[in-house]
C-alpha cells in the first residue's frame, strides 16, 4: 500500500529527507561545544554508543510505524492500534508527536529567521573588521527590533509552507535532493577554509577529539544520552511521517543507521569549522545563540575572505533549518489532509497560519515581551522550548519504543523487518528494554536537575 500523500522515489531520497530532518541548529551550535567540554573523543564514543542503543532503535520504531500505517503519525498509530487489538488510547503517541512538532517549529522558525538575517548581514560585509562590542550590540539590536524579527520569521515560515504545500514529490523530495547535497558540499568547503586560513585547525581537532576521560562524568553520559535522542528528531512525528513515504522492502535498521551517521558527521564537521576560527581569534568557545550570532560573525569578520565564507556558512545553516522545518510541519499537514479532506495547499496554509500565530509569542520574547515570564523566569520562547523538549519529546520517545516493541502485532513487525532479519532480535531487545529505560533516566534527571 502506498501513502495517499505520495512516496519517496528511492531509499537515497528517504535517507536525505530523514537526515535533513535530523540535521539542524543543534548539530551546529550545541553538539561540538558539549563534545569538547565533556571529554572530546571520550564523549564522542559514549555519544555513538548512545546513538546505537537509543537513537537508532527509536528511529527504526518510528519508521516501522510510519511505513506500516502509510498515513499521518496520528492515523498510523490509530490504525496499528486497532489492527493489533490494542487500547485506542495508544493513538496519543501520534498526537504527542504532532503537538511537539507544532510547538517546536513555532520557536525554531523564529531562530531560523535570525539566521536568514545573518546571511544578508555577513554578505553585506557588516562584520568586516568588527570588534566584540559591535558584534554583541548588533545582535542585541536585531533581536530587540520586533519588526526585524517578525519579518525574518515570516519569510522563513513562508518558505517552509511553500515547500510543504507542493507535496512529497514536488516539494519535500525536490527540496532535500538539492539542499542536502549542497549542505554537505558547503560543509566540506568550509572545513577546508578553516584548515587553510585559521592557523588553529589542529587546536580545533584537539578540542573535539582529544581523549580526556577525566572530563567524562556521569552528567556527561546523561548529556550524551539526551543528545543522541534529540539530535535525530525523535518523538516529534517527523520520522514517522517520512517513514510513511518510504519504499517497501528497504532495510529500516540499515537506513536508520545511515541517517544517524550522517547526522553525527555534520555535527563533527561543524565543530571543525567553528572552533579553529574561534581559537584563531582568541574568542570564547561557548555554545548556543552567542556562538552562532556573536562569536562566529566576529571571527569571520577578522578572517581573510570572511565576508564570503561567513555568508556561505549562514546559508548552510539556513538549509539545515529549512530541511528540519519542513519535517516538523509535515505530520500536522498530512493529518489535516486526511481528516478534513482538503487540498495539500489548504492544509499547509492552515497549519502554517496557526504555527505563525503561536510563534509570534517567541518572536516577541526578545523585544516587546522580554519582561513577560510564563513559568518562573522563562520567557514564552523558553517555555515552549522547555515543555516540548523536556516533557513531550521524551515521553513520546518512551511511548513510541514501547508501542513498536510490545503493542504492534508481531506479524506487522515481522513484515516490516523482513529486510533486517539479522539485526531484528537486537532491535527488539533495545526497543523493548534499553531505549525506554535510558530515555526515562534522561527524563527524570532533567527534572531532578531543575
Q: What is the pLDDT of residues 276-293, one digit of tens each?
A: 999 998 887 777 788 899
pLDDT at residue 83 is higher than 80:
yes
User: Do residues 149 and 366 touch, judged by C-beta distance below 8 A?
Assistant: yes
The answer to whether position 139 is within a domain reads yes
Compute φ and ψ for 7, nearest 5 degrees.
Answer: -135, 150
| Cβ atoms within 10 Å of 321's Cβ, excluding its own | 25
Residue 5 lies in a domain: no
Percentage of the chain with pLDDT > 70?
100
Q: State mean pLDDT over 382-404.
A: 93
- 57, three cell numbers: 532503535
Q: Across all residues in the chain, what is the average pLDDT?
A: 94
- Our count of domains for the chain comes to 1
Contact 64, 244 (CB under 8 A): no
pLDDT of residue 281: 86
Q: Kindly state whether residue 436 falls inside one of the protein's structural domains.
A: yes
CATH of the domain at 373: 1.10.4160
In angstroms, the CA 153 to CA 448 distance is 34
Residue 333 has pLDDT above 90, yes or no: yes
- pLDDT of 450 > 70? The answer is no
Quote the domain boundaries for residue 188.
Answer: 11-448
* pLDDT number for residue 153: 98
**Is residue 76 in a domain?**
yes
Tell me the C-alpha distance between 61 and 180, whole Å: 24
pLDDT at 249 over 90: no
Q: Which of 25-29, 93-97, 199-203 has the lowest mean pLDDT?
A: 25-29
Give CA 1 to chain center in angstroms: 29
Question: Is 71 contained in some domain?
Answer: yes
Q: Is residue 1 part of a domain?
A: no
User: pLDDT class for 219, splitting at 50, 70, 90?
Assistant: confident
Residue 323 clears pLDDT 90, i.e. is over it:
yes
Is position 379 within any domain? yes
Note the pLDDT tens digit of each residue in 50-79.
999 999 999 999 999 999 999 999 999 999
| Residue 4 falls inside a structural domain | no
Amino acid at each position: 500500500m502506498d501513502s495517499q500523500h505520495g512516496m519517496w522515489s528511492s531509499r537515497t531520497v528517504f535517507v536525505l529527507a530523514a537526515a535533513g530532518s535530523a540535521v539542524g541548529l543543534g548539530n551546529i551550535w550545541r553538539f561540538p561545544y558539549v563534545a569538547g567540554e565533556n571529554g572530546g573523543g571520550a564523549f564522542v564514543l559514549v555519544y555513538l554508543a548512545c546513538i546505537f542503543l537509543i537513537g537508532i532503535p527509536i528511529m527504526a520504531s518510528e519508521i516501522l510505524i510510519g511505513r506500516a500505517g502509510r498515513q499521518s503519525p496520528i492515523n498510523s498509530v490509530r490504525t496499528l492500534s486497532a489492527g493489533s487489538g490494542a487500547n485506542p488510547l495508544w493513538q496519543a503517541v501520534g498526537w504527542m508527536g504532532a503537538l511537539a512538532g507544532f510547538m517546536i517549529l513555532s520557536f525554531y522558525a523564529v531562530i531560523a529567521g535570525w539566521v536568514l538575517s545573518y546571511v544578508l548581514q555577513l554578505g553585506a560585509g557588516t562584520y568586516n573588521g568588527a570588534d566584540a562590542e559591535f558584534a554583541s550590540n548588533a545582535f542585541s539590536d536585531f533581536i530587540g527590533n520586533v519588526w526585524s524579527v517578525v519579518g525574518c520569521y515570516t519569510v522563513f515560515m513562508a518558505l517552509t509552507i511553500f515547500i510543504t504545500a507542493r507535496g512529497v514529490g514536488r516539494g519535500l523530495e525536490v527540496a532535500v535532493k538539492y539542499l542536502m547535497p549542497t549542505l554537505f558540499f558547503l560543509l566540506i568547503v568550509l572545513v577546508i577554509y578553516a584548515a587553510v586560513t585559521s592557523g588553529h585547525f589542529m587546536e580545533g581537532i584537539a578540542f573535539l577529539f582529544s581523549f580526556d576521560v577525566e572530563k567524562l562524568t556521569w552528567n556527561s553520559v546523561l548529556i550524551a544520552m539526551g543528545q543522541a535522542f534529540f539530535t535525530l528528531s525523535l518523538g516529534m512525528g517527523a520520522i514517522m511521517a517520512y517513514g510513511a513515504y518510504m519504499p517497501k522492502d528497504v532495510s529500516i535498521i540499515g537506513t536508520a543507521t545511515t541517517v544517524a551517521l550522517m547526522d553525527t558527521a555534520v555535527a563533527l564537521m561543524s565543530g571543525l569549522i567553528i572552533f579553529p576560527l574561534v581559537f584563531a581569534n582568541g574568542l570564547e568557545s561557548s555554545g548556543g545563540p552567542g556562538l552562532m550570532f556573536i562569536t562566529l560573525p566576529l571571527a569571520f569578520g577578522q578572517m581573510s575572505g570572511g565576508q564570503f565564507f561567513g555568508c556561505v556558512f549562514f546559508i548552510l545553516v539556513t538549509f539545515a533549518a529549512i530541511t528540519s522545518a519542513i519535517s516538523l510541519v509535515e505530520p500536522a499537514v498530512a493529518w489535516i489532509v486526511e481528516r478534513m479532506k482538503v487540498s495539500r495547499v489548504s492544509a499547509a496554509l492552515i497549519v502554517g497560519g496557526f504555527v505563525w500565530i503561536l510563534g509570534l509569542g517567541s518572536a516577541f520574547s526578545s523585544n516587546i515581551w522580554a519582561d513577560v515570564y510564563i513559568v518562573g523566569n522563562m520567557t514564552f520562547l523558553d517555555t515552549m522550548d522547555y515543555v516540548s523538549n523536556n516533557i513531550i519529546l521524551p515521553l513520546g520517545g518512551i511511548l513510541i519504543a514501547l508501542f513498536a516493541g510490545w503493542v504492534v502485532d508481531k506479524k506487522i513487525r515481522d513484515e516490516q523487518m523482513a529486510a533486517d532479519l539479522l539485526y531484528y532480535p537486537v532491535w527488539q531487545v533495545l526497543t523493548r528494554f534499553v531505549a525506554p529505560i535510558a530515555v526515562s533516566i534522561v527524563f527524570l534527571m532533567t527534572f531532578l536537575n531543575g
